[in-house]
């Protein structure tokens, strides 16, 4: 196709080429539409230059747009810079192309040049340049552009106002975004979506939901924004609720909605819904989308089906570093530490360079199965071989590994030597290790630091209390509980959830409000009795639970 169109253009008579370009334009546009690599772009440009077609603003806009789509934006920008008299349409095309890439600063500079050249920005200029502002989080520049929009009288245009809402909310100034939204005379679905998404981005899921329910019309972006918002603030039950409503209203979820829903399924262990999404992905032929497969691996692993997670992994034709890391972490989660290390060896043989998250997964795998020597080797290898400097999370994994393995003094030494102040995760690992190995001195030291870092976390007091109880020091147990009462620290009730018939049921310790609680507790007591007969005696019984149905 490319060659035939190019021959037809080249065979035109000199008289035709020097006349008005109208007969040439359709073929040239078709040539650009069918371009797929840099050679095509270069040949097309070579055809345009000697004929002066690169000075035609409309044709040049099409050429730059094609360069942008194919990923050759630097070439398109170079051609644009040689244009003697660009108009506002061409400027907008170039700004739009730059805003989609890492050239956001150049897009803003080009917007400023529009004003220097005496052009008046139009309704397309503002949304394109504001997209670059969002990429750079350049709030000060965004406010200046807002002032420009007011001076030109375009701030009330629905497209410009929507872009401003996105800019303010992306920069975290949600109150200004809402003021703009409330002041709009005309709102379309994009305006509503921008405001709903804005609330979701700043973690205000309640406001996002309230606005969503008021929307006169919704599209897939509206639903996705609320689902992703709930998933982001760790409210998976609500995310799944909205996803199911989306299904009932025959709204087909997009990739982002499915990613958010799979994240919620992974958190709750909602395997049935996760499998439905998997089947839906297969029906639509979306198996090639790597992020969806990564989410499926994570969902199956966290829902307890490591075999399905491995099946998804093995059937993938293309795997990213996130894919390998997710699979390694999934194996570690299931206590398959050696298999996780074997997976890492496969990753290296596939010439996929691990990142810092990969090594967190590897160190966690070593910790789960007590592979202290292997963990230390990988901890050193990440620096010497991959030039990845350990962060506090890596040190936390090593402290946990050493603590679980009984190397308490080595763990304390590592905490003293690391180039960071120990956080609550590290002191929590030391406290847990002290409980496992009965080191009261270490437990008291860790608790002192934890009380400073998170004074209202009841779990820390509980761990220390259990250490005292295991040693038969009941006076100290009473003192810990008194300290909790004096400081107003309340024990957070434990909870769990199960999925039955596509419904997630949450159970929370502390109440017997469910009408079937009698039957539920009968089963629980039977399980508890069977555990005792098998020789297991829990240190303490959780007590009654409160049933919450979603």
- Cα 230 from Cα 266, distance rounded (Å): 14
Q: For residue 107, what are the CA distances in angstroms to 103, 126, 128, 261? A: 6, 11, 8, 35
Count CA atoms within 13 Å of residue 190 on its CB side. 12
- Over the stretch 235-279, which tens digit does the pLDDT of each residue have? 988 999 999 899 888 898 888 899 999 999 998 888 888 998 999
- Cα 336 from Cα 221, distance rounded (Å): 39
Residue 190 confidence (pLDDT): 94
Q: 63-72, 135-144, 196-205, 450-459 — which is least confidently predicted?
A: 450-459
* Band of residue 101 on the pLDDT scale cut at 50, 70, 90: confident
- Over the stretch 509-532, which tens digit does the pLDDT of each residue have? 656 666 777 787 788 778 888 887
Mean pLDDT computed over every residue of the chain: 83
In this predicted structure, the answer to whether residue 38 has a pLDDT above a threshold of 70 is yes
For the residues 1-8, what does the mean pLDDT come to? 47
CA dihedral for 355, 356, 361, 366, sign (positive or negative): positive
Do 194-318 and 391-492 come out as alike in CATH topology? yes
Give exposure, 364-381, as e/b (b: 16+ Cβ within 10 Å): bbbbbbebbebbbebbee
* Band of residue 2 on the pLDDT scale cut at 50, 70, 90: very low
Domain boundary assignment for the chain: 194-318, 391-492, 495-549
Residue 463 confidence (pLDDT): 67
For the residues 100-108, what does the mean pLDDT come to? 85
In this predicted structure, the answer to whether residue 543 has a pLDDT above a threshold of 60 is no
CATH superfamily of 194-318: Tetratricopeptide repeat domain (1.25.40.10)
Tell me, rounded to whole angstroms, the distance of Cα 167 from its chain centroid.
20
In this predicted structure, the answer to whether residue 54 has a pLDDT above a threshold of 90 is no
**Who contacts 381 (Cβ-Cβ below 8 Å, separation ≥6)?**
none
- Over the stretch 108-121, which tens digit does the pLDDT of each residue have? 998 998 888 888 88
Residue 219 confidence (pLDDT): 93
* Band of residue 15 on the pLDDT scale cut at 50, 70, 90: very low
Residue 56 confidence (pLDDT): 79
CATH number of 391-492: 1.25.40
- Cα 195 from Cα 50, distance rounded (Å): 49
What CA dihedral angle connects 9, 15, 19 and 21, to 10 degrees?
A: 0
- Over the stretch 81-95, which tens digit does the pLDDT of each residue have? 888 788 888 888 899
């Amino acid at each position: 196709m490319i060659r035939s169109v190019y021959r037809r253009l080249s065979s035109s008579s000199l008289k035709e080429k020097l006349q008005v370009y109208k007969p040439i334009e359709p073929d040239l546009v078709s040539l650009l539409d069918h371009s797929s690599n840099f050679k095509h772009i270069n040949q097309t440009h070579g055809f345009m230059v000697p004929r002066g077609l690169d000075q035609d603003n409309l044709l040049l806009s099409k050429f730059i747009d094609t360069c942008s789509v194919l990923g050759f934006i630097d070439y398109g920008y170079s051609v644009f810079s040689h244009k003697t008299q660009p108009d506002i349409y061409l400027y907008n095309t170039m700004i739009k192309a730059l805003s989609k890439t890492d050239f956001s600063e150049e897009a803003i500079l080009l917007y400023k040049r529009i004003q220097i050249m005496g052009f008046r920005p139009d309704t397309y200029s503002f949304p394109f340049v504001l997209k670059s502002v969002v990429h750079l989080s350049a709030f000060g520049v965004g406010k200046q552009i807002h002032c420009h929009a007011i001076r030109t009288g375009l701030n009330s245009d629905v497209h410009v106002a929507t872009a401003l809402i996105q800019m303010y909310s992306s920069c975290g100034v949600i109150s200004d975004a809402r003021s703009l939204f409330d002041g709009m005379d005309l709102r379309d679905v994009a305006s509503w979506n921008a405001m709903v998404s804005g609330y979701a981005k700043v973690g205000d899921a309640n406001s996002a939901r309230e606005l969503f329910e008021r929307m006169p019309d919704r599209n897939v972006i509206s639903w996705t924004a609320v689902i992703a918002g709930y998933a982001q603030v760790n409210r998976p039950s609500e995310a799944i609720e909205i996803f199911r409503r989306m299904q009932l209203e025959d709204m087909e979820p997009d990739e982002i909605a499915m990613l958010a829903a799979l994240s919620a399924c992974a958190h709750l262990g909602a395997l049935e819904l996760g499998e439905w999404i998997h089947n839906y992905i297969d029906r639509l032929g979306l198996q090639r989308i790597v992020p969806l497969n990564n989410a499926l691996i994570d969902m199956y692993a966290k829902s307890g089906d490591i075999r399905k997670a491995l099946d998804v992994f093995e059937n993938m034709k293309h795997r990213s570093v996130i894919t390998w890391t997710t699979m390694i972490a999934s194996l570690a989660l299931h206590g398959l530490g050696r298999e996780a290390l074997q997976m890492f060896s496969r990753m290296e043989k596939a010439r996929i360079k691990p990142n810092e998250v990969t090594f967190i997964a590897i160190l966690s795998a070593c910790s789960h199965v007590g592979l202290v020597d292997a963990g230390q080797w990988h901890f050193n290898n990440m620096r010497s071989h991959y030039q990845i400097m350990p962060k506090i999370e890596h040190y936390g994994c090593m402290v946990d590994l050493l603590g679980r393995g009984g190397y308490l003094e080595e763990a304390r030494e590592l905490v003293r030597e690391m180039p960071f102040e120990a956080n609550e995760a590290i002191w929590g690992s030391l406290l847990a290790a002290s409980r496992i190995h009965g080191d009261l001195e270490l437990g008291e030291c860790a608790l002192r630091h934890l009380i400073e870092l998170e004074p209202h976390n009841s779990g820390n007091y509980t761990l220390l209390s259990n250490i005292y109880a295991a040693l038969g020091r009941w006076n100290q147990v009473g003192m810990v509980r008194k300290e909790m009462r004096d400081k107003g620290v309340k024990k957070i009730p434990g909870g769990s959830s199960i999925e039955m018939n596509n419904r997630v049921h949450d159970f929370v310790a502390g109440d017997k409000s469910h009408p079937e609680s009698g039957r539920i507790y009968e089963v629980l007591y039977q399980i508890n009795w069977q555990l005792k007969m098998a020789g297991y005696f829990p240190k303490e019984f959780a007590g009654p639970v409160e049933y919450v149905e979603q």
